[in-house]
């Protein structure tokens, strides 16, 4: 019987101690890789549209998928983009990018904003 009571006491201690240990380990400030901040396509679009034309074009040309979307229309595509890039809906094109390309695009925009 004493062995059973010791086992019950040990189980009770574990039940009360484990949540505290789990909470302490999750609040230690480490950010898990799955919790990395992903740039929002809408915010990227707004930031991109606020850039001057030269910076905008340089960024679009440095992202192959976005450049290909404009190049598909030839020189007229670039003329159209220059005339409408501040109002054109870039979000659908940005959504087609994978996470690494979105992160790269966001970094380029932040760099361009800082160099104004």
Domain ranges of the chain: 2-27, 38-114
77 near 70, Cβ under 8 Å? yes
| More confident call, 26 vs 58 | 58
- pLDDT one-digit tens code per residue, 55-99: 999 999 999 999 999 999 988 999 999 999 899 989 999 999 999
CA 76 to the chain's CA centroid:
32
- pLDDT for 34 beyond 50: no
pLDDT of residue 16: 58
**Residue 116: closest CA among 72, 75, 66, 55:** 55
**pTM for this structure?**
0.63
Dihedral of the CA atoms 24, 25, 28, 31 (nearest 10)? Answer: -140
Question: What separation in angstroms does the CA of 43 have from each of 3, 61, 70?
Answer: 62, 20, 21
The percentage of residues in the chain with a pLDDT greater than 90, rounded to a whole number, is: 50
């Amino acid at each position: 019987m004493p062995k059973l009571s010791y086992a019950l006491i040990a189980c009770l201690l574990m039940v009360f101690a484990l949540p505290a240990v789990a909470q302490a380990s999750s609040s230690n400030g480490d950010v898990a890789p799955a919790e990395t901040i992903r740039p929002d396509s809408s915010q990227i679009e707004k930031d991109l549209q606020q850039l001057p034309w030269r910076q905008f074009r340089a960024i679009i040309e440095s992202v192959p998928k976005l450049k290909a979307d404009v190049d598909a229309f030839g020189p007229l595509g670039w003329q159209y983009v220059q005339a409408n890039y501040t109002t054109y809906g870039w979000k659908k094109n940005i959504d087609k990018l994978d996470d690494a390309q979105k992160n790269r695009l966001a970094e380029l925009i932040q760099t361009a904003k800082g160099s104004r």
